Structure 1
Amino acid sequence: MLLHNHNHLPRISNRFNNHSGGFTALIAVILVSAGTMAFSLSTLSAAVLYADSVFRKEMRIQVELNTHSCLDTATVSLAKDFFMNGTTTIRSLGCEVSVINPNPDLSSYDVEISVTAALSGIRKFGKRSVRISDNSILVISQDVW
């Protein structure tokens, strides 16, 4: 009788092995799917971060160009109107210009032009000093930061 029980045990173990093969395959498919999804998500997030950094760099370049253009536009406007004073906005360049014209009645005087340009949350500041004398404008200094 004891031998009969030992012969019966391998049959139960074979049945268990036959049923566990499907479970193992299911777990393997789930693990491979989860790994593929994790890899895809990490790759996608890296691509989004790279695209955002490229976009931000382009915006910084554009804001700096807008700042220089605003300074030039304000200087040309000052050449047309020596009495220009105060603050104005140049919407096409996304900047605000402030002109400090202390005494336009003198034959030679210095004017300060300050610019703040903004685009997509990125700001740049610029400052230019010009000397007006005898119907001419000379740029003394300029700084953009």
Structure 2
Amino acid sequence: MKDLDEASYVIGVEIHRDKEQRILELSQKTYIEKEQMKGISYASAVGSLMYAQVRTRPNIGFAVGLLGPYQSNLGLGHWKDVKKVLRYFQGTKDYRLTYRHTDCLKVVGYSDSNFAKCVDTKKSNSGNIFLLAGGAIS
């Protein structure tokens, strides 16, 4: 077995550590920079967004959730929405999930919902996020 020192890049996620301030940050800047819109299908674009959302970008979860159901019946407006999210990514590619040392390690959760807000289906939406050490874990 060989010790390769601390991990700095694992499965498309960049790992940044500041031992002095006791901070751990996760980023997908490289992944966001390499994704291109040329010649990919709507499903591939949504899949790329979903990949980033699950790893380090929970802030786009709602948008990805709205785009996903239209893969079999999409229109021009759906493509425009995907492009908006990808442009948002380019503008925020330096964002990182940040976890800070704390003496009181506890999980904090938030949730929200609405009633029959979806214009197309009249279905309700809900969402939640759980944080640990100041960063999203779910």
Give the TM interval when normalised to the shorter protein: under 0.3
Q: Which of the pair has the greater relative contact order for Cα pairs under 8 Å at 6+ separation?
A: 2
Question: Going by fraction, where is strand more abundant, 1 or 2?
Answer: 1
* TM-score w.r.t. length of structure 2: 0.25
The structure in which a higher percent of residues are helix is: 1
Computing the radius of gyration from Cα coordinates, the structure with the larger value is: 1
